[in-house]
Structure 1
């Protein structure tokens, strides 16, 4: 089995080197060939020059920032591996990660499109008070990072989509020792996943106009509509500095998340889900905080709606599985399963 490990980076040489070193230390099953691929999205910090001299790295240096999906697509064009592993540049792979993540592809599962591992947040956390900076889980619990002894929290066991079209990490902020995630999950987490080249050849690569965020959810919809499975592999573990490159409070992060949530609904979700997503956004524009920013994101989604609907029709023409089948995997908007 030939495996290409793809890391997309932009102005983060130190993080990227740390990530690559964690892959270099991995033990691989007999007969597995690994290739390290770094896609540099036009960094200005010397990343391309620094990595060009590393003999075990295939560097794909792009002249500008094409986002996560564009970066992965450039790697796909430059490689011919049987399996493509995606790893965030701000993550570190734990021992055994790679072997566990790719093993299911050699286990006689011809319709396996993707595997997705267990992502832990870096550091430790303690319960947070009702005010002040905190990360908030699907269950409403608030957590603050702690320099003292705390608990390890889960970042993701794969991607799920709610019945109002919200794509999110399954098991987000659940204490690591309490999680026993089901093998079947709607979609893969793009920062900790392995994709079958056969599946990618079947459905196509990432949708580049999304640029960043929701690209993995969108591709998961297409995999599901063509009958490909996505499986969670709990022993494939990474530790992630969540949103180290853009920050979850940045306008860039929030705008792209809100815009792309609507667009992916238009491309794939049942109309009832799309309607709930649109109403949710409209209500937030009317009465929620940051109304001007939210209005800007909603208008950006509406401007791209004709394109999204065109994509919907294209997917429907080639789908072999009814929309209702993956839609049955959607979860309530409350606590994660």
Structure 2
């Protein structure tokens, strides 16, 4: 079978085995004429995720469940799983994604139509099937800090709206293919070779901005980051770090500072 008909699907789980199982079932139900493996890395969950997943899929030779004894972060969890991937194409999926009919096949086909594509991401939909703005622009650090954290509550609504519309690319119809700055890491397809060549997800990010950084590195390598809205998947996105100030907010801010300091954008 040709490489374009093969894919390694990577899912990093942390305490959400039920969502991960839903994601896996959606993959299995909608993959036709594709040779595949699903690699689930349990990132040192504090509940019984690993045992639940291991026991549920122990008899499925296409699904491998790996236990990480240390949680070194979402990005590095993906790196570990990609290292063991046996196919040329790698699809990075969040556990809270539902794969729809022909979506993976169509993404792989589009990837092979243009060797210059480094990352391809599909259109993500909210649970109510409305558009989720998952392709985005880089912002100056001051605009990101003010508009994409709970600090926005202290600023004029019109000012925040303008920044967010630019950031979320609301001036784009999300219908035609488009090269973009970066794509949210909930669903990313790329060649394993390209992922390895740019160093995978950068390990300095425990959570957040690893997808921004990966897209930036792909651009620097001379390849495209392509938003491909013909393909749709559902993403149950929580945005816990943006809605209110909590521990995740500070992790988000820390990752943001690391990114802007690293690239001085």
TM-score bracket relative to the smaller structure: 0.7 to 0.9
Q: Which residue of 1 aligns with 2:37?
A: 35
Deviation at 1:246, TM superposition (A): 7.0
Deviation at 1:93, TM superposition (A): 1.3
Corresponding residue pairs, total = 237
Q: Which residue of 1 aligns with 2:76?
A: 70
1:214 and 2:209 matched: yes
Q: Is the 8 A contact 1:214 1:260 kept in 2?
A: yes
TM-score by length of 1: 0.64
Q: Is the 8 A contact 1:154 1:172 kept in 2?
A: no
Q: Is the 8 A contact 2:176 2:228 kept in 1?
A: no
Unpaired segments ≥5 residues, structure 2: 149-163
In structure 2, relative to structure 1, the CA distance for the partners of 1:244 and 1:15 (3 Å cut) is farther
Q: Which residue of 2 aligns with 1:3?
A: 7
Output one character per residue of 1:4-61: Cα deviation in whole Å (capped at 9) or x when no partner.
1111111111111111111111134x5x321111110111322211222311311111
Output one character per residue of 1:280-326: Cα deviation in whole Å (capped at 9) or x when no partner.
xxxxxxxxxxxxxxxxxxxxxxxxxxxxxxxxxxxxxxxxxxxxxxx
1:117 and 2:112 matched: no
Output the CA distance in 2 between the equivalents of 1:118 and 1:103: 16
Q: Is the 8 A contact 1:119 1:155 kept in 2?
A: yes
Q: Which residue of 2 aligns with 1:51?
A: 53
| C-alpha RMSD of the superposition | 2.6
Larger Rg: 1
In structure 2, relative to structure 1, the CA distance for the partners of 1:88 and 1:79 (3 Å cut) is same
Q: Which secondary structure does the structure 2 equivalent of 1:84 belong to?
A: strand
Q: Is the 8 A contact 2:137 2:169 kept in 1?
A: no
In structure 2, relative to structure 1, the CA distance for the partners of 1:246 and 1:15 (3 Å cut) is farther
Q: Is the 8 A contact 1:155 1:171 kept in 2?
A: no
Match of 2:109 among 81, 89, 103: 103
Deviation at 1:244, TM superposition (A): 7.4
Q: Which residue of 1 aligns with 2:30?
A: 26
Using CA pairs under 8 Å that are at least 6 residues apart, name the structure with larger relative contact order, 1 or 2: 2
Q: Which secondary structure does the structure 2 equivalent of 1:222 belong to?
A: helix
TM-score by length of 2: 0.80
Match of 1:158 among 135, 140, 152: 135
In structure 2, relative to structure 1, the CA distance for the partners of 1:212 and 1:268 (3 Å cut) is same
Q: Which secondary structure does the structure 2 equivalent of 1:237 belong to?
A: strand
Output the CA distance in 1 between the equivalents of 2:189 and 2:110: 10
Match of 1:259 among 248, 254, 260: 254
User: Superposition pairs for residues 285-300 of structure 1, below 5 Å?
Assistant: none
Q: Which residue of 2 aligns with 1:127?
A: none
Output the CA distance in 1 between the equivalents of 2:249 and 2:240: 14
Deviation at 1:63, TM superposition (A): 0.9
Deviation at 1:158, TM superposition (A): 2.2
Deviation at 1:173, TM superposition (A): 10
Output the CA distance in 2 between the equivalents of 1:247 and 1:57: 34
1:200 and 2:195 matched: yes
In structure 2, relative to structure 1, the CA distance for the partners of 1:247 and 1:267 (3 Å cut) is closer
In structure 2, relative to structure 1, the CA distance for the partners of 1:196 and 1:248 (3 Å cut) is farther
Output one character per residue of 1:120-163: Cα deviation in whole Å (capped at 9) or x when no partner.
1113xxxxxxxxxxxxxxxxxxxxxxxxxxxx432234232123
User: Superposition pairs for residues 175-194 of structure 1, below 5 Å?
Assistant: 179-180=174-175, 182-194=177-189
Q: Which secondary structure does the structure 2 equivalent of 1:212 belong to?
A: coil
